[in-house]
């Protein structure tokens, strides 16, 4: 039977460690601080950001939730970010995405001070990550490395195949795996003979944003599968394609009218040696690593 890599348990472990670090910093008169910027009123974003704010409170981290209206301009947002960059009690700045279409997202992410860029999206931090220098790494990729390490999955010398080339997950996780001495191949939607390459993977990271994209014939038996995808299924036809006959999924779908599937077809997990489930795999690590990055930023800014 494949080993299920429990992201909820690992995230809880990381949060406990962060809480201990916060206590040690408090003894030195330091309280890490996170500013969360939520533009407009997108229900999913509101739930996600408030979860982050609550986690800060649980761990002893100061947080400031800033909620500009949806009509906010790029210039107003740039002024807001400049103010946060200057605030001494703020160690991390989180701008919840997506932003309204009229706001220049790239300009805002570039404007966040690299020292406070706890999402790791600033190009300076991306460059530091590539160069293997001290930096703040994007939360989801950093969480993937934690899952592998804390689950005693060997990385050094293994062939890791990353399916997806986004700046948020695909590229940075490839760099982090490379820094752990894996041999890394990056694939994407235009890769020829994709299944031939994915079958070579000891560690297969699926981050392409397509439901059930990785099928059983794309997986070599015994591989470790890291599924980053979160895709919502809302029709019976979609549900039956992946979960027909799965009792707990049937009950959840009947109650909510939807369920989620990753970028890996559930049947592909049966071939693996270990895998991250959806839900309960990589998702919980994102908030845990945001908290970790906030404390890391607080220490780096003070030369600790």
At residue 183, the 3 state secondary structure works out as strand
* 52 in catalytic set: yes
φ, ψ of residue 191 in degrees (nearest 5): -70, 130
Given the residues 52, 91, 117, 227, select the one marked as catalytic: 52
Instruction: Say how many CA atoms lie within 13 Å of 276 toward its Cβ.
Output: 34
Given the residues 91, 119, 202, 263, select the one marked as catalytic: 119
Q: Are strands 224-227 and 274-275 parallel, antiparallel or unpaired?
A: parallel
Q: Is 122 exposed, middle or buried (0-12, 13-18, 19+ CB in 10 A)?
A: buried
Q: Under a CB-based contact definition with an 8 Å cutoff, are residues 185 and 161 in contact?
A: yes
Side by side, which strands form the sheet with 224-227? 3-4, 274-275, 224-227, 203-206, 159-163, 183-187
Given the residues 96, 116, 117, 227, select the one marked as catalytic: 96
Neighbours of 74 (CB within 10 A): 16
* 3 in catalytic set: no
Q: Are strands 259-261 and 231-233 parallel, antiparallel or unpaired?
A: antiparallel
Burial state string for 202-224 with b = 16 or more CB within 10 A and e = fewer than 16:
bbbbbbbbebbbbeeebbeeebb
Catalytic residues: 52, 96, 119
């Amino acid at each position: 039977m494949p080993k299920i890599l429990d992201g909820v348990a690992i995230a809880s472990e990381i949060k406990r460690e962060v809480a201990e670090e916060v206590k040690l910093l408090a003894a030195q008169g330091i309280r890490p601080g996170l500013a969360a910027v939520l533009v407009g009123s997108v229900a999913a974003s509101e739930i996600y950001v408030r979860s982050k704010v609550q986690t800060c409170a649980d761990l002893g981290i100061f947080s400031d939730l800033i909620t500009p209206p949806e009509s906010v301009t790029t210039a107003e947002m740039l002024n807001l970010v400049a103010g946060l960059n200057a605030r001494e009690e703020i160690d991390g700045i989180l701008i919840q995405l997506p932003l309204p279409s009229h706001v220049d997202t790239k300009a805002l992410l570039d404007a966040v001070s690299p020292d406070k860029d706890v999402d790791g999206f600033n190009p300076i931090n991306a460059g530091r990550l590539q160069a293997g220098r001290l930096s703040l790494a994007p939360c989801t990729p950093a969480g993937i490395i934690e899952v592998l390490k804390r689950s005693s999955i060997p990385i050094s010398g293994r062939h890791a195949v990353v399916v997806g080339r986004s700046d948020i997950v695909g590229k940075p996780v490839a760099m982090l795996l490379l820094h752990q001495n894996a041999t890394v191949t990056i694939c994407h939607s235009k890769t020829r003979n994709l299944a031939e390459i994915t079958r070579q993977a000891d560690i297969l990271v699926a981050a392409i944003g397509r439901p059930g994209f990785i099928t059983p014939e794309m997986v070599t038996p015994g591989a470790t599968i890291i599924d980053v995808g979160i895709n919502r299924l809302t029709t019976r036809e979609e549900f039956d394609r992946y979960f027909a006959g799965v009792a707990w999924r049937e009950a959840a779908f009947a109650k909510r009218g939807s369920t989620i599937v990753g970028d890996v077809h559930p049947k592909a997990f049966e071939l693996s040696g270990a895998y991250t489930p959806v839900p309960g795999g990589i998702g919980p690590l994102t908030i845990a690593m945001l908290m970790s990055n906030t404390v890391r930023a607080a220490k780096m800014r003070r030369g600790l």
